[in-house]
């Protein structure tokens, strides 16, 4: 038995994972909330970097978890192993079809070739001694006082807790086979061992995960995430979708995984298991959660909720009142069948609430979900054949509509790949856990076609282009008519292996929203055009120092209003010696962005697992500095200071978050102990 428990990162490891996380998530984040939590993904990438995936052992599922390895390549890899016998070295990957230079570079830190270990052969004492424990605590705080903390009048909305943020996580792992995860979080403004949070932290999450034990492929007790098909019916956690990685439109069904992220919404709580029965895999699951919602009581005493909470924040009396206001039960099962390179899955599940959901009686909500129970079913498949990967899903809301999609990723030539994706989500389809490729806010009321192309004329150059055309047949939030849109993107990347990386990108987006004209009896929709030009560069000066630059322009124009042009430029310095106690990085950015409309997002380095994609708007300067200090092999400490200094403003932010002055600064301290 050999268990490899490396306790140091390979050189440049953090930078490699950072680059991947940024590449995988950038467009997903741009279309979502600013504080989107990426720690689950980062967690997995760091884990597999420390405990590389054994190419001779994997059934492909660990490779899927990495999030960037196309299914077509995984199938080719398994085929190769089947035909040519066990891998002797990772370099053998190069003979497998579908591997381009970029994929090889990305994959190498996460794979290895070694001997096997089995949990069944291990005693409890050995489990505790050989397994790895990790305890991490993070403290953060905004230095300036926000308005919500200064209000003492109890009749007004205000923050009930302190501005301190606290996050504690514990991990226990035994190889890939057993994992225990606990997360505890208190957001800024939430009480701690007081008020509604008398039990301490506002958010607790935990799971025990067992893998590969005879018939039981995966077992999770506690918080878990399910990802099936292409996400039309059930997909917890992050979905990548459109972006610079064209093959990313094909989602990788990872099935059941423990939930280890600190996001308070995107998971299920209870128990689930995947049982292998010959070529079939069956995953029954059950979840029971308390969710946030604004309760209202009708004159006849009937209770209802108009919408479910989307933030997980419980800072003000209103947020506290909505906390855990509604109970949700989810139960169902997935059956999965695999025959060589063909896979098919069948999913059905039922969602029930103790209080009915009644959205506001608006025309745009005509097809929205209302009631206290929902039953969804879905069938999905994928098939790979030589250089072609086909995938599709058809999902149904019982008593409502359908959502269907069909996609294709094909290698037309050794240097050229094509991706196509057609979607048709009916307006009366709905699922609480869908995350399919969509230009709108969810899997409903949308039809679209996506086509993308990637060309690698050499190992150094990559050119990608995609076009996505879509229509929304029914009204949407702030769009009082059927509407349509376009999303085009092209990017040219030049990579000078291990030394430098340069890319130029253009993105054009057309959407429609209500025109800002009030003198008409009815609303008109206006075209909104957003254009982005981004130049990005990274170069390694030597084994210790890396520099990174970006210059970005954004142009916003809504019909009938003045156009807005914004720019942003930053310079990063990254210090990462091969050995040594200290490492760190810093950024200085300047930006001039007329308003929120022309806003930009930029990925920021943070303390480990603390990824952030803040939004830049108005005029000002952004700076941050992160430092990490290692104490032997067991302990690490991270420090971060980040600040926004705006020009020509007296107040930063709005509402209870408003800060007097022109500056907002945050500090973070994080400690990790591994034993």
Partner 1 sequence: MGQAGAALEGIYSLTSNPAGLAGLEDAAVHIGYQHHFFSTDITTQAALLGVPTWLGTWGVAARRYGMDGAYQDTQAGFAYAKRFGTQFSLGMSANYHQLYIPGYLSAFAFSADVGVQYHFDHGSIIGLQYSNVGNAGYGAEVSAAIPSFIRIGFSYPLAMVTLAADLACRFKNGLGGHLGIAYWIADVLCLRGGLSVNPMQQHAGFGVRWQQFVFDAAATFHPRLGVSPQIALGYVF
User: Count of H helices and E strands in the chain?
Assistant: 8, 33
**Among residues 101, 108, 344, 486, the one that binds partner 1 under rule CB under 8 A:** 486
Pick out residues in 496-515 that bind partner 1 (CB under 8 A). Answer: 508, 510
Q: Does 453 bind partner 1 (CB under 8 A)?
A: yes
Q: Does 99 bind partner 1 (CB under 8 A)?
A: no
Determine the interface stretch with partner 1 among 44-52, 169-177, 332-340, 481-489 (rule: CB under 8 A). Answer: 481-489
Residues 167, 73: Cα–Cα separation, whole Å? 38
Residue closer to partner 1, measured from CB, 86 or 412 = 412
Residues 100, 98: Cα–Cα separation, whole Å? 6
Residue closer to partner 1, measured from CB, 333 or 486 = 486
Q: Does 388 bind partner 1 (CB under 8 A)?
A: no
Taking each helix axis from N to C end, the angle separating 39-50 and 13-30, rounded to the nearest 10 degrees, works out to 150
Q: Does 455 bind partner 1 (CB under 8 A)?
A: yes
CB within 8 A of 240, min separation 6: which ones?
24, 25, 27, 28, 67, 248, 251
Q: Does 387 bind partner 1 (CB under 8 A)?
A: no
Residues 54, 419: Cα–Cα separation, whole Å? 29
Q: Does 484 bind partner 1 (CB under 8 A)?
A: yes
Residue closer to partner 1, measured from CB, 200 or 387 = 387
Q: List the x/- string, 399-438, binding to partner 1 by CB under 8 A.
A: -------------xxxxx-x-x------------------
Residue 647: how many other CB atoms lie within 10 Å:
12
**Among residues 485, 566, 610, 620, the one that binds partner 1 under rule CB under 8 A:** 485
Residues 380, 228: Cα–Cα separation, whole Å? 8
Q: Does 449 bind partner 1 (CB under 8 A)?
A: yes
The answer to whether 452 touches 418, Cβ cutoff 8 Å, is yes
The answer to whether 168 touches 197, Cβ cutoff 8 Å, is no
Closest CA to 429 of 438, 416, 442, 411: 442
**DSSP run (H or E) holding 384:** strand 371-385
Question: b or e along 295-322 (b: 16 or more beta carbons within 10 Å of the residue's beta carbon)?
Answer: eeeeeeeeebbeebbeebbbbbbebbeb
Q: How far is the CB of 412 from partner 1 (least distance, A)?
A: 5
Residue closer to partner 1, measured from CB, 329 or 455 = 455
Q: List the x/- string, 460-479, binding to partner 1 by CB under 8 A.
A: -----x-x-xxx--------
Residue closer to partner 1, measured from CB, 467 or 592 = 467
Give the helix ranges, DSSP H, for 56-200: 61-65, 71-84, 101-107, 124-130, 147-150
Residue closer to partner 1, measured from CB, 134 or 527 = 527
Q: How far is the CB of 464 from partner 1 (least distance, A)?
A: 12
Pick out residues in 505-564 that bind partner 1 (CB under 8 A). Answer: 508, 510
Q: Does 373 bind partner 1 (CB under 8 A)?
A: no
User: Residue count at the site for partner 1 (CB under 8 A)?
Assistant: 22
Tell me the two tokens of residue 305. 């909720």
Residue closer to partner 1, measured from CB, 9 or 508 = 508
**Site of interaction with partner 1 (CB under 8 A):** 412-416, 418, 420, 449, 451, 453, 455, 465, 467, 469-471, 484-486, 488, 508, 510
């Amino acid at each position: 038995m050999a268990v490899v428990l490396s306790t140091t990162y390979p050189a440049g490891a953090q930078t490699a994972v950072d680059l991947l996380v940024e590449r995988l998530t950038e467009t997903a984040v741009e279309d979502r909330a600013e504080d989107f939590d990426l720690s689950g993904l980062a967690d997995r990438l760091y884990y597999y970097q420390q405990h590389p995936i054994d190419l001779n052992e994997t059934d492909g599922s660990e490779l899927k978890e990495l999030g960037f390895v196309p299914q077509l390549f995984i199938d080719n890899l398994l085929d190769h192993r089947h035909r040519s016998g066990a891998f002797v070295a990772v370099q053998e990957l190069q003979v497998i079809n579908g591997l381009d230079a970029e994929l090889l570079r990305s994959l190498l830190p996460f794979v290895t070739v070694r001997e096997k270990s089995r949990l069944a052969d291990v005693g409890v004492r050995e489990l505790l001694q050989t397994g790895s424990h990790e305890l991490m605590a993070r403290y953060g705080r905004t230095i300036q006082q926000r308005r919500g903390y200064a209000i003492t009048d109890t009749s007004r909305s205000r923050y009930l807790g302190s501005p301190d943020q606290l996050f504690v996580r514990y991990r226990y792992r035994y190889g890939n086979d057993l994992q225990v995860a606990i997360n505890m979080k208190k957001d800024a403004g939430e009480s701690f061992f007081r008020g509604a949070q008398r039990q301490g932290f506002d958010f607790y999450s935990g799971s025990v995960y067992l893998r590969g034990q005879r018939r039981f492929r995966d077992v999770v007790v506690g918080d878990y995430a399910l990802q099936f098909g292409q996400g039309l019916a059930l997909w917890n956690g992050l979905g990548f979708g459109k972006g610079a990685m064209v093959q990313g439109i094909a989602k990788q069904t990872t099935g059941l995984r423990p939930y280890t992220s600190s996001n308070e919404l995107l998971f299920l709580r209870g128990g689930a298991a995947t049982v292998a029965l010959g070529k079939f895999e069956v995953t029954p699951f059950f979840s029971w959660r308390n969710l946030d919602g604004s309760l209202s009581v009708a004159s006849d005493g009937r209770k209802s909720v108009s919408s479910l909470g989307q933030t997980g924040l419980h800072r003000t009396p209103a947020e506290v009142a909505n906390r855990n206001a509604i109970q949700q039960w989810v139960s169902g099962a997935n059956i999965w069948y695999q025959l060589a390179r063909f896979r098919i899955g069948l999913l059905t599940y039922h969602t029930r609430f103790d209080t009915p959901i009644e959205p506001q009686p608006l025309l745009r909500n005509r097809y929205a979900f209302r009631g206290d129970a929902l039953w969804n079913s879905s069938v999905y498949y994928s098939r790979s054949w030589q250089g072609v990967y086909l995938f599709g899903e058809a999902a149904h809301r019982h008593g409502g509509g359908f959502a269907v999609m069909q996609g294709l990723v094909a290698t037309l030539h050794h240097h050229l790949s094509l991706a196509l994706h057609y979607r048709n989500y009916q307006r009366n389809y709905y699922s609480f856990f869908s995350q399919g490729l969509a230009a709108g806010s969810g899997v409903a009321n949308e039809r679209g076609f996506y086509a993308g192309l990637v060309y690698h004329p050499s190992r150094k150059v990559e050119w990608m282009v995609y076009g996505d055309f879509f229509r929304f047949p029914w009204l949407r939030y702030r769009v009082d008519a059927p509407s349509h849109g376009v999303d085009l993107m092209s990017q040219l990347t030049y990579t000078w292996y291990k030394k430098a990386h340069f890319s130029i990108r253009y993105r054009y987006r057309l959407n429609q929203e209500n025109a800002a004209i009030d003198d008409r009896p009815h609303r008109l929709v206006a075209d909104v055009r957003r254009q982005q030009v981004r130049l990005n560069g990274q170069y390694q000066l030597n084994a210790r120092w890396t520099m990174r630059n970006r210059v970005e322009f954004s142009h916003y124009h809504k019909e009938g209003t003045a156009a807005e042009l914004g720019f942003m430029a930053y310079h990063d310095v990254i210090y990462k010696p091969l050995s040594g106690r200290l490492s760190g990085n810093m950024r200085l950015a300047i930006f001039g962005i007329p308003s929120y409309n022309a806003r930009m997002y930029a990925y920021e380095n943070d303390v480990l697992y603390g990824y952030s994609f803040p939004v830049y708007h108005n005029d000002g300067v952004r700076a941050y500095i992160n430092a990490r200090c290692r104490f032997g092999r067991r302990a690490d400490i991270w420090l971060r200071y980040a600040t926004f200094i705006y020009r020509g403003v007296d107040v930063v932010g709005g509402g209870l978050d408003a800060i007097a002055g022109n500056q907002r600064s945050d500090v973070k301290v994080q400690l990790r102990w591994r034993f």
